């Protein structure tokens, strides 16, 4: 039985969008926002939870989106991967400043900046209590960071993928447009597919379903939400096999 002193999950993969780092800014990284997120991560690490993070690059790429218009898709995706490396470095730096030990591991080879992703090394870091930030997605164009989160989550044996968004779960309709929309407490993968809820891209969603890796969608903007999710409380929406 889960108690107040016993987390429901001991190893998690946290998926952050790049936009989550912007705060109220138009693009880039908002320092107070990233520091608040790191404080929430530090709180669950203090409970003994092993944490890995995959972060998107939309906040960085948004600043050059106009120049990328009409660009070859693969080239644009590689630019996006580099944006995730920038975000990962910023996040790891903020973690280290707050007393955590963070390691950035990249799916593309830029060893002068970050170390390459090597699964046994990642597992070792987690066992040592370090926080891993997986950068550069899967290392391949045409795959999103949602897919990277599902892939890395399966590889490291995470018990859940936590998708942090600006909305506190999955709703029957857009809660910003429909005040009668209600939040699902939980859904099966099949139910989410039938209702076309668009929780993750199709590749990521199928991978989680096939690996029986649950997804929890919650709002990173709600104070204490990450800890409540880790403790197994009714926060956000659980999608399960």
Number of domains in the chain: 1
Domain assignment of residue 91, yes or no: yes
CA distance 46 to 48: 5
Do the annotations mark residue 190 as ligand-binding? no
Q: Would you say 146 is a known binding-site residue?
A: no
- Which residues make beta-bridge pairs with 116? 106
- 1 part of a folded domain: no
Known binder of ligand: residue 142? yes
Please tell me whether 143 is known to bind a ligand. yes
- Split at pLDDT 50, 70, 90, the class of 62 is low
Query: Is 58 flagged in the annotation as binding?
Result: yes
Please tell me the predicted confidence (pLDDT) of residue 2. 45
Cα dist. 164→119, 120, 149, 218, 223 in Å?
24, 26, 12, 5, 12
Residue 15 labeled ligand binder: yes
Whether 4 maps to a domain, the answer reads no
The enclosing domain of 194 has a CATH number of 3.40.1160.10
User: Any known ligand binding at 33?
Assistant: no
Give yes or no for residue 140 having a pLDDT over 70.
yes
> pTM for this structure?
0.92
Q: Is 234 known to sit in a ligand binding site?
A: no
209 is in an annotated binding site: no
How far apart CA 209 and CA 190 sit, in angstroms, is: 9
By percentage, how much of the chain surpasses pLDDT 70?
95
Residue 115 has pLDDT above 90, yes or no: yes
- Does 59 carry a binding-site annotation? no
Does residue 2 form part of some domain? no
How much is the average pLDDT of 138-157? 97
At residue 202, the pLDDT reads: 93
Q: Is 6 within the bounds of a domain?
A: no
Average pLDDT rounded to a whole number, residues 131-146: 96
- Domain membership of residue 147 (yes or no) is yes
101 known ligand binder: no
CA–CA distance, 57 with 88 (Å, rounded to integer):
9
What average pLDDT does the segment 59-83 reach? 79
For residue 86, tell me if it sits in a domain. Answer: yes
Q: Would the annotation count 18 as a binding residue?
A: yes
144 labeled part of a ligand binding site: yes
165 is in an annotated binding site: yes
Sequence-distant (6+) residues with CB within 8 A of 58 are 17, 18, 19, 83
Q: Is 28 annotated as a binding residue?
A: no
Q: Is 180 annotated as a binding residue?
A: no
Domain contains 65 = yes
Report pLDDT for 66. Answer: 58
Residue 3 scores a pLDDT above 60 = no
| Domain span holding position 94 | 11-240
């Amino acid at each position: 039985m889960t108690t107040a002193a016993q987390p429901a999950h001991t190893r998690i993969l946290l998926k952050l969008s790049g936009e989550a780092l912007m705060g109220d800014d138009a693009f880039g990284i908002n320092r107070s926002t990233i520091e608040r997120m790191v404080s929430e991560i530090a709180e669950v690490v203090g409970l003994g939870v092993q944490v890995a993070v995959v972060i998107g690059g939309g906040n960085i790429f948004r600043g050059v989106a106009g120049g990328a218009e009409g660009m070859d898709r693969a080239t644009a995706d590689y630019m996006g991967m580099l944006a995730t490396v920038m975000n990962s470095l910023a996040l790891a730096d903020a973690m280290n400043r707050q007393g955590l030990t963070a390691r950035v591991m990249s799916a593309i080879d830029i060893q002068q900046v970050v170390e390459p992703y090597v699964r046994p090394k990642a597992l070792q870091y987690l066992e040592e209590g370090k926080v891993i930030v997986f950068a550069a997605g899967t290392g391949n164009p045409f795959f999103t960071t949602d897919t990277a989160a599902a892939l890395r989550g399966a590889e490291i044996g995470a018990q859940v993928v936590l998708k942090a968004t600006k909305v506190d779960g999955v709703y029957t309709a857009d809660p910003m447009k429909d005040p009668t929309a209600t939040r699902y407490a939980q859904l099966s993968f099949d139910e989410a597919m039938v209702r076309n809820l668009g929780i993750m891209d199709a590749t990521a969603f199928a991978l989680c379903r096939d690996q029986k890796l649950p997804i929890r969608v919650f709002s990173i903007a709600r104070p204490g939400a990450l800890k409540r999710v880790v403790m197994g409380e009714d926060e956000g929406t659980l999608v399960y096999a």
